[in-house]
């Protein structure tokens, strides 16, 4: 793994939340909250940032573009489908060529686990990369925006919270980053729920109580983090049918009543309505889905600033 911290403990790249200290997370979250509260920042004026996505995205790409614009950066958008990667150019050559144009910040989504770290290892010393999702491994800014959203709803002290993560955890980089952040921030209880075929066989669920029955898992939880069923990453046969999946693991309004009365519902998007979550829950009063999206801009501003204008960004412990 490419080191993402320099010798002084500052972020050089943001590749994963794994191993980042509580101080780092809290500093980034505090800075993001300042941006939510209206702090203006132009700390990236004159800096060029490129969104380099080798997989599709709506929220992550656009909110990074919005974040960079709000910080005054020049923003370049690389679209793989109309780029010279269609002629066989590699991701590394693509990065190197855009670096040669004077771009210092890269927001990269890659289909392979470790794909962004591999590019970071070959980048110029003054270049910073943000992992915008690599394979099943990590989606660190989704983790940050989710923590920001949970903090706004439930307060900064997570020690009394019961949080349930539900669904296709095996294929989910969001779940990995969320669980890493929740553990670092000292969440009281972590529960995980999903069909056995969609639970990971690595250390992702360390510290989680695994409850296979969704109704049982929901009892008394303060937050329900739903995950998208990632059909594009899935081998055949992991789920018998979408109807079966909904019967077992779809969040309905009736099911949600088992959670604490003030429980919040989160989903990273894009949602499969009627599969992992019903429309009336996604759009209902307990849903924070659009709050998560709004917070994505502020969380990504905090990250870009920390990487590219550290004097203006958060100071660590």
Binding site for ligand CP (CB under 6 A): 57-60, 133, 142, 268-270
In whole angstroms, the minimum distance from the beta carbon of 61 to ligand CP comes to 6
- Shorter beta-carbon distance to ligand CP: residue 62 or 211: 62
Closest CA to 181 of 2, 64, 21: 21
**Three-state secondary structure string covering 46-90:** CCEEEEEECCCCCHHHHHHHHHHHHCCCEEEEEEHHHCHHHHCCC
In whole angstroms, the minimum distance from the beta carbon of 56 to ligand CP comes to 7
C-alpha span between 118 and 100 (Å, rounded):
18
- Shorter beta-carbon distance to ligand CP: residue 227 or 251: 227
Q: Which residues lie below 8 Å from residue 81, measured CB to CB, with a gap of 6+? A: none
C-alpha span between 224 and 165 (Å, rounded):
6
**Three-state secondary structure string covering 168-185:** CCCCCHHHHHHHHHHHHC
In whole angstroms, the minimum distance from the beta carbon of 310 to ligand CP comes to 25
In whole angstroms, the minimum distance from the beta carbon of 130 to ligand CP comes to 13
- Shorter beta-carbon distance to ligand CP: residue 133 or 313: 133
In whole angstroms, the minimum distance from the beta carbon of 317 to ligand CP comes to 29
- Shorter beta-carbon distance to ligand CP: residue 24 or 61: 61
| Closest CB to ligand CP: residue number | 60
C-alpha span between 128 and 307 (Å, rounded):
6
- Shorter beta-carbon distance to ligand CP: residue 10 or 59: 59
């Amino acid at each position: 793994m490419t080191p993402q911290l320099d010798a002084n403990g500052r972020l050089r790249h943001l590749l994963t939340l794994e191993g980042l200290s509580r101080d780092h997370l809290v500093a980034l979250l505090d800075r993001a909250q300042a941006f939510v509260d209206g702090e203006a920042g132009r700390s990236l004026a004159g800096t060029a940032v490129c969104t380099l996505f080798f997989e599709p995205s709506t929220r992550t790409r656009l909110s990074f573009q919005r974040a960079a614009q709000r910080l005054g950066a020049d923003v370049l958008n690389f679209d793989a489908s109309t780029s010279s990667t269609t002629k066989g150019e590699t991701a590394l050559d693509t990065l190197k060529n855009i670096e040669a144009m004077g771009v210092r910040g890269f927001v990269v989504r890659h289909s392979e686990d470790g794909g962004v770290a591999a590019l970071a290892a070959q980048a110029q010393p003054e270049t910073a990369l943000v992992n915008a999702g690599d394979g099943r491994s990590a989606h660190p800014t989704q983790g940050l925006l989710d923590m920001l959203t949970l903090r706004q709803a439930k307060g900064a002290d997570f020690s009394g919270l019961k949080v349930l993560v539900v669904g296709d955890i095996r294929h989910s980089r969001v779940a990995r980053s969320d669980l890493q952040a929740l553990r670092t921030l000292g969440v009281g209880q972590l529960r995980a729920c999903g069909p056995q075929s969609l639970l990971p066989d690595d250390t992702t669920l360390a510290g989680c109580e695994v409850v296979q029955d969704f109704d049982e898992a929901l009892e008394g939880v303060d937050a329900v983090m739903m995950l998208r069923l990632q059909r594009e990453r899935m081998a055949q046969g992991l789920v018998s049918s979408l109807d079966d999946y909904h019967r077992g693991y779809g969040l309905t309004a009736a099911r949600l009543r088992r959670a604490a009365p003030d429980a919040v519902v989160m989903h990273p998007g894009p949602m499969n309505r009627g599969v992992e979550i019903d429309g009336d829950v996604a759009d209902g009063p307990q849903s924070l889905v659009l709050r998560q999206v709004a917070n994505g801009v502020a969380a990504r501003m905090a990250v870009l600033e920390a990487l590219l204008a550290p004097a203006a960004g958060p100071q660590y412990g």
